[in-house]
Amino acid sequence: MVVFHLYDKFYALLIIYSPFSMSLGRLLGHGTRRDEPTPSQWSIVLVQAAGGIFAGATASCITTPLDTIKTRLQVMGHEKRPTARQVVKGLIKDDGWTGLYRGLGPRFFSMSAWGTSMILAYEYLSWDTSFFL
């Protein structure tokens, strides 16, 4: 029984940690045709940069309202401290839904730039292994 419990998540972990080209990519037919031309290095960099921008933009749009609520809770006094629900209701009542997205512009650009640089640096360093030799 104990041995079975150790291996019950094995297949899920195998799928999660295997590269896309080995698992789902092969099932969908990606990378199986040998006559396909390989993409140029610049097109790969462009796709990776677009992915970084999209990841940063998505993260900033999700986390900005949470950060606005957190900041409001931090700056309010300790007497009669409101709950997060009360802060959200107050923000929406005072400023509408756009009140939750205060500071989205700078956060959007900084997280997009950070996501792009992180993905490009990771991909560059993972392809150029002679860098560490």
> What pLDDT tens digit does each residue of the chain (133 aa) get?
445 555 566 556 555 555 544 544 555 555 556 666 777 778 878 888 888 888 889 999 999 999 999 998 888 877 778 888 999 999 999 999 988 998 899 999 998 898 888 888 887 777 655 555 5
Same domain, 20 and 69: no
Same domain, 59 and 85: yes
Same domain, 90 and 47: yes
Provide the pLDDT for residue 18.
56
Whole domain around residue 75: which residue ranges? Answer: 39-132
Q: Is the pTM of this model over 0.85?
A: no
Residue among 42, 64, 43 nearest 110 (CA)? 64
Same domain, 32 and 49: no
Sign of CA dihedral 22, 120, 46, 38: negative
Same domain, 27 and 8: yes
Same domain, 31 and 56: no
What is the domain count for the chain? 2
Same domain, 69 and 96: yes
Same domain, 44 and 88: yes
Provide the pLDDT for residue 75.
87
- For 113, other C-beta atoms within 10 Å of its C-beta total 13
Same domain, 24 and 53: no
Same domain, 16 and 77: no
* Residue 59 token pair: 């993260």
